[in-house]
Amino acid sequence: MSTPNRVLITGAASGIGNACVRLFNDQGYIVLGMDLNSPDDDSLFAGFEQGDVTDGPAIDHVINAFEIPTKGLDALVHCAGMTGHGSATEIDPAFWSKILNVNLTSTFLITRAVIPHMQLNGGGSIVTIGSTFSMIARDSMIGYAVSKAGVAHLTRCLAIDYAKDNIRANCVCPGLIDTPMTSHLNAPGHEDVRQTLINAHPMKRPGTAEEVANAIAFLSSDAASYITGQVIGVDGGFTAGKQVVPEARH
Question: What are the mean pLDDT values of the chain's consecutive 10-residue runs (250 residues total)?
Answer: 87 98 98 97 97 98 98 98 96 98 98 98 98 96 98 98 98 93 74 88 96 98 98 97 72
Q: What are phi and psi of 102, to 5 degrees?
A: -70, -40
Whether 158 is covered by a domain: the verdict is yes
Whether 190 is covered by a domain: the verdict is no
**CA–CA dist 34, 11 (Å, integer):** 6
Whether 42 is covered by a domain: the verdict is yes
CB 64 within 8 A of CB 117: no
Q: Is 226 a catalytic residue?
A: no
User: Tens digit of pLDDT for each residue in 186-209?
Assistant: 777 778 888 989 999 999 999 999
The strand pair at 6-10 and 75-78 is best described as parallel
Exactly one of 29, 144, 162, 226 is catalytic; which is it?
144
Domain count, the chain: 1
| CATH number of the domain enclosing 36 | 3.40.50.720
The pTM score is 0.95
Whether 185 is covered by a domain: the verdict is no
Whether 246 is covered by a domain: the verdict is no
Domain limits for position 122:
6-179+208-234
